[in-house]
Structure 1
């Protein structure tokens, strides 16, 4: 297939900025040199692990591996030794690539180490190794909520097809400058946030650590796009009333994108009211990269993730696998997808790979959604944790969470189901109150939800918490929300 990074294979863009992390940066010419030299060392190495700190070295390491035709295994530096040990044992990398001086935990010290240099002036570029579309590009480990993490093998054609589909949907070009502060061990921050700009011939500015000041600074100095997760946009929404410069900066952005979890409608509306810009949501996961998005020329409707991307087929199915044809905005089904964006397998797990696909090749996402009459997809939650079957109804936790967040006394909200002898399951709300000294009552919240949605969707039980458990990407870890009731 054609090179993943055309802008690195010719000299026309040599002086254009490619990557910037804090005060450190590389032009396309410098990036071609350092990644080409490293790629020359990596060829034939088999899989290589990358200690994926939010640094220039991580971006250089992954691009070099891809240019060498060697699969990269990003390692989360915040993972515990047991998890890292499992990932390294499972993926068996021959090398680990790090920034100079990184301190590594014991499991990561076992493979041979290469410290990545980013001096862009000393090396000629030997070019990118041509690769077949099915050749593995990345092995990205899932969160492992139901067991040890599984390594999703992502082929080169999935990376290329997803990034090209997003270019079509978002009108993404080499003139765009992306700012973000996402982790680089996940497909959002790494594939979309680093490889995406490089495939287009644009540039990326990584903040290292998220701050609203950093976002405002970069958008005020030429950045055109912002990628973030809901926790980041929530902090932006909270800061906007007292920060006119932030509102002005966001108003200059061509595209604000949120992903990795649903952005609450309340935050959507607060950002739109203050900036005149609506946040675009997209939907994807490790195994599929990106499936849907609101298009740049479409309606950025709060609470939806838009329509399937070019080349992606999407259907909703009933519990028994029967396709759900209704587009009424109410009928809930599991999302299944197929297309060139899909992973090829779970590494060393043929059983899990077989279970993830239907007999006719559709990937079972485990996400539940409804479709509006115009085809827009609205995700209501995960099948395992967010679908509540109560009194004969299928209820998605997400819409109840959005309704709860509209209450002025609620700062954060999560909704789960609990066994109920009468209803089968009852709706349980977990609330972080805006004022811990005066939290909203259970009856008050039940009436609030019933008035906005329907009586059968009201929470029957309410728990007050000081915070909700979240992972590195800001997703609420609902399995940690337990009750002895």
Structure 2
């Protein structure tokens, strides 16, 4: 099957196949506009697009796929230094002046092993790196998720996520064009916009679902949907519980990275476990590796670095052979840098990044997410982030950053100690007006 069969008429056509805000386009219109732009960019080494939530962004990506030219989505809020680095590193010219009314002949594009997208990492450990995503990796990932979520042409997918990440662009746009489902992009992921869209399948990040759960009327309007999907960060258990109460749905959680696409997910036809992300999708294998390099047991308690192999993996970092080599174990497994547990039944729980979310305190290995969920269970706490800070005696001490009203640090410390083991309580609680987050709603713990 070609990468995006909806653009070739495989599912027929419909005038409102894709809606962005107040504007709709048919698949035929999208294919025609993409075909016309593909003629303009054919032969370019790469093209870039300022990835706003717009049809101009979507058509540019589709044109690149049609012309066999890698596309570099640039975050619209990127500063001049970051933008210059991305364009220079990718050797990409910025596409401007996209004519949505132009029409050309759409083709299916290049071979499966050709690079389709170059997505740049957030650059938290240095300059952003360009992740090379092949057409066949994208196809494998989307097919695995279509299988896991029973995602078909009968669905209407709704989301309001940015179009420069895997979640919003690959899953949220290319996924609809591969499965033939209708797509409604709300431009911004506002609860009332989600409610008005009347979809069957909804994508959101935890920040979005927190806002939906805080708007009971909008949340209840999602009751007729088939599936709510959360990803890009761990969904706090209190949000999971509130969504279940208001919508009747237990959200499906999933896990992935830019380098791996989505590799692990709960299934539409299976159970949902708060704080866990399910099992590997078709074509993907995972394993846990301990600090000593030996396999970590799949007992649901032992933590280790999660490593991945399979059809969805990226083909390397652009112009960074050393970084590419360092990202893989000697036997070819990709080192995610995330710490996880795997249960006897194969269910995965992501503890977090090994650098920020695995806290080693007094000889104990503590997952930040568990402490965060305990804090969020307090009615006065709206947001929480937990990190490990250097400590002379303990090695690291647990420090909690919270957004809360009408509660003291000692009360929160005692609250966590009553819920979890005493050694998992925060030693310090710091109050903030808000937590620093990136465009996908992930807390930027390196800033705390």
Q: Could you say which TM-score interval applies, normalised by the shorter chain?
A: over 0.9
Q: 1:12 to 1:231 in 2, by over 3 A?
A: closer
Q: 1:12 to 1:254 in 2, by over 3 A?
A: closer
Further displaced range: 454-463 or 163-172: 454-463
Q: What is the Cα deviation at residue 446 of structure 1? A: 2.4
Q: 1:97 aligned to 88, 95, 98, which one?
A: 95
Q: Is the 8 A contact 2:212 2:219 kept in 1?
A: no
Provide Cα deviations, 1:31-80, integer angstroms capped at 9, x if missing partner: 12111222222221121101111001101110111121110000011000
The whole-number CA distance in structure 1 between the counterparts of 2:106 and 2:207 is: 42
Count of residue pairs the alignment pairs up = 448
Report the counterpart of residue 188 of structure 1 in structure 2: 167
Matched, 1:468 2:435: yes
Q: 1:234 aligned to 210, 213, 220, which one?
A: 210
Report the counterpart of residue 398 of structure 2 in structure 1: 427
SS of the residue aligned with 2:346?
coil
CA RMSD of aligned residues (A): 1.3
The whole-number CA distance in structure 2 between the counterparts of 1:28 and 1:477 is: 38
Alignment of 1:401-412 (within 5 A): 401-412=372-383
Provide Cα deviations, 1:341-398, integer angstroms capped at 9, x if missing partner: 1101110001110110001111111111112232111111110111111111111101
Provide Cα deviations, 1:199-247, integer angstroms capped at 9, x if missing partner: 111121111122111111112xxx211111111111111111xx2xx23
Q: Is the 8 A contact 1:318 1:334 kept in 2?
A: yes
Report the counterpart of residue 103 of structure 1 in structure 2: none
Alignment of 1:81-160 (within 5 A): 81-93=80-92, 95-98=93-96, 115-119=97-101, 123-129=103-109, 131-160=110-139
Q: Is the 8 A contact 1:410 1:440 kept in 2?
A: no
Q: Is the 8 A contact 2:15 2:24 kept in 1?
A: no
Further displaced range: 202-211 or 393-402: 202-211
Q: Is the 8 A contact 2:157 2:176 kept in 1?
A: yes
Q: 2:332 aligned to 346, 361, 385, which one?
A: 361
Report the counterpart of residue 348 of structure 1 in structure 2: 319
Report the counterpart of residue 291 of structure 2 in structure 1: 319
The whole-number CA distance in structure 2 between the counterparts of 1:339 and 1:8 is: 27
Provide Cα deviations, 1:90-115, integer angstroms capped at 9, x if missing partner: 0011x3223xxxxxxxxxxxxxxxx1
Q: Is the 8 A contact 1:36 1:128 kept in 2?
A: no
Report the counterpart of residue 277 of structure 1 in structure 2: 249
Q: Is the 8 A contact 1:432 1:464 kept in 2?
A: yes
Matched, 1:54 2:53: yes
Q: Is the 8 A contact 1:409 1:440 kept in 2?
A: no
SS of the residue aligned with 2:17?
strand
Q: Is the 8 A contact 1:46 1:71 kept in 2?
A: yes
Q: What is the Cα deviation at residue 161 of structure 1? A: 0.5
Matched, 1:441 2:384: no
Q: Is the 8 A contact 2:49 2:71 kept in 1?
A: yes
Q: Is the 8 A contact 1:65 1:72 kept in 2?
A: yes
Q: 2:362 aligned to 359, 377, 391, which one?
A: 391
The whole-number CA distance in structure 2 between the counterparts of 1:87 and 1:217 is: 37
Q: Is the 8 A contact 2:231 2:254 kept in 1?
A: yes
Q: 1:187 to 1:175 in 2, by over 3 A?
A: same
The whole-number CA distance in structure 2 between the counterparts of 1:397 and 1:40 is: 50
SS of the residue aligned with 2:195?
helix
Gaps of 5+ in 1: 99-114
SS of the residue aligned with 2:359?
strand
Report the counterpart of residue 292 of structure 1 in structure 2: 264
TM-score (norm 1): 0.90
SS of the residue aligned with 2:383?
strand
Q: 1:88 to 1:12 in 2, by over 3 A?
A: closer
Q: What is the Cα deviation at residue 248 of structure 1? A: 3.2
Report the counterpart of residue 29 of structure 1 in structure 2: 28
SS of the residue aligned with 2:89?
helix
Q: 2:418 aligned to 442, 451, 474, which one?
A: 451
TM-score (norm 2): 0.97
The whole-number CA distance in structure 1 between the counterparts of 2:106 and 2:419 is: 61
Report the counterpart of residue 214 of structure 1 in structure 2: 193
Report the counterpart of residue 5 of structure 2 in structure 1: 6
Q: What is the Cα deviation at residue 333 of structure 1? A: 0.9
SS of the residue aligned with 1:77?
coil
Q: Is the 8 A contact 1:395 1:457 kept in 2?
A: yes
